[in-house]
Structure 1
């Protein structure tokens, strides 16, 4: 027994006629009759009692009809939902965004996407790049924005943002008036870093060690604006992307380009290379790829 058998039985009952059911289903009457005959042979029961022009259900037919209604309703609902998903009238995407990227670059992107696809729900998760990569790899998130480069064996990706870090300092710091700061000149400073969930945490430590010292880490945070406030309170120095630095009041926080080396802040949109990706997620990838191109 399959869904087509139930559809035919239900339509014969509704029309009280094999002929009318055939017309309604756009089938020939022999096809309708054969469908019922095959069903009866499969179940080894009669479904209809044919008494002249009158059609009656047998006990087995009555049992079939008692389940056919709810099953066909669910099947119709399933077809409608698949249609909506196929044509992006509905769906759901889970997206991981680091706080700096989410706050500065994506509100307008999300607004534009939802204006085009109002039926698609977006779940945003703010995390550091390391945590976002883990969540995409395990399937908890569909897509995310992370600090590049990424593992091409695990993820597909495309670039979205390409900047460099600047040093932010309290105006009273002796280095605040310089046009540029070498990374080696920060060896005696107190550092304020993002927490270890953020790829920048390890990136900055690695770069400092490469020029001969381990940074003295005084504080860690998950929020760039709080890091800025701590620098404004003269609790230490930090490194943030140029775009973020422009949001600080220069009377409270100075930002100076970092050199020798400069530290890139390159963000990629990433998703898992292997495995299922919903139509909504695929459309998000295509939409953002076009915008950031």
Structure 2
């Protein structure tokens, strides 16, 4: 059964005349009659009683008319909905976002995006960056914000931030008068560190191991403001991205350069070979 058959049938039912319906459809009467006949043969039922002056529906014809109206109405609604999606009058985006990153870059971007596309809903789930990558890989989110590097064979990568790690120490610390601190000099320090599901945990842990020691962990946290306040209370040291350090207002904390330099680069990622909605694609373009 073809949609065109139903469309032509409804036109005949509307006009109660093959002649008038053919004129409205701009096709010949024989062609229209053939189309109606093929529909009747397919359904194995007479739908229209034809006379010289009129074409009346049978009981079966009324049922087909009712369902044909519903089907074509749904098709029209589908077209309108698809048009709304492509013109971004509706839609939704699911994003995986690390807490440390979210407070830095996203509030202003979200506000501007919502202002421009008020009918697009944004569903945010906060995970550590490592868990965000897994969530995108398993299609829990369309988009994720991740700390690079990630597997380029698995993900499309849209870089958004280039940063580097800095050391936070108490202003009375014995190293506070230095211009640069070398990572191996922190062997005996107590660290306020990140939870295991944060990408920073693995990044810095590998750095420490490369320098010949495992860090002494005093506290673990997912909140950069808590971590910096612990440093301000002289409970230990921590290492955070420079863009976060720039927000630390505690006067007891001093921010130091670290060697070797550890980059902290962020990107929006999507899973390769997976459909990405119009709304999500627009968000990526907007963010970049």
| Pairwise CA distance, 1:29 | 4.0
Looking at structure 1, the residues matched to 26 and 181 of structure 2 have their Cα atoms a distance apart, in angstroms, of 79
Which residue does 1:286 correspond to in 2? Answer: 285
Which residue does 2:73 correspond to in 1? Answer: 73
2:271 maps to 1:272 = yes
Which residue does 1:124 correspond to in 2? Answer: 124
Aligned length: 288
Which residue does 2:87 correspond to in 1? Answer: 87
Looking at structure 2, the residues matched to 274 and 2 of structure 1 have their Cα atoms a distance apart, in angstroms, of 32
| Pairwise CA distance, 1:3 | 2.5
Which residue does 1:49 correspond to in 2? Answer: 49
Answer yes or no: is the 8 Å Cα contact 2:100–2:222 preserved in 1: no
Further displaced range: 90-99 or 5-14:
5-14
Further displaced range: 38-47 or 99-108:
99-108
Which residue does 1:229 correspond to in 2? Answer: 229
Structure 2 residues without counterparts, runs of 5 or longer: none
| Pairwise CA distance, 1:205 | 0.9
Which residue does 2:199 correspond to in 1? Answer: 199
Change (3 A) 1:61 1:210: same
Further displaced range: 91-100 or 200-209:
91-100
Change (3 A) 1:13 1:154: same
Structure 1 residues without counterparts, runs of 5 or longer: none
Looking at structure 1, the residues matched to 107 and 28 of structure 2 have their Cα atoms a distance apart, in angstroms, of 56
Looking at structure 1, the residues matched to 255 and 85 of structure 2 have their Cα atoms a distance apart, in angstroms, of 47
Looking at structure 2, the residues matched to 113 and 206 of structure 1 have their Cα atoms a distance apart, in angstroms, of 37
How do residues 34-183 of structure 1 correspond to structure 2 at under 5 angstroms? 34-183=34-183
Looking at structure 2, the residues matched to 220 and 23 of structure 1 have their Cα atoms a distance apart, in angstroms, of 78
TM-score of the pair, normalised by structure 1: 0.90
Superposed CA offset, 1:51-73 (max 9, x none): 33233211221221232233222
Looking at structure 2, the residues matched to 63 and 198 of structure 1 have their Cα atoms a distance apart, in angstroms, of 61
Looking at structure 2, the residues matched to 167 and 245 of structure 1 have their Cα atoms a distance apart, in angstroms, of 9
Change (3 A) 1:27 1:236: farther
| Pairwise CA distance, 1:216 | 0.7
Superposed CA offset, 1:215-237 (max 9, x none): 01121112222222222232221
Looking at structure 2, the residues matched to 12 and 5 of structure 1 have their Cα atoms a distance apart, in angstroms, of 11
Looking at structure 2, the residues matched to 166 and 22 of structure 1 have their Cα atoms a distance apart, in angstroms, of 78
2:8 counterpart SS class: helix
Change (3 A) 1:170 1:66: same
Change (3 A) 1:179 1:250: farther
1:106 counterpart SS class: helix
2:8 maps to 1:8 = yes
CA-based RMSD: 2.0
2:160 counterpart SS class: strand
Looking at structure 1, the residues matched to 184 and 10 of structure 2 have their Cα atoms a distance apart, in angstroms, of 81
TM-score of the pair, normalised by structure 2: 0.91
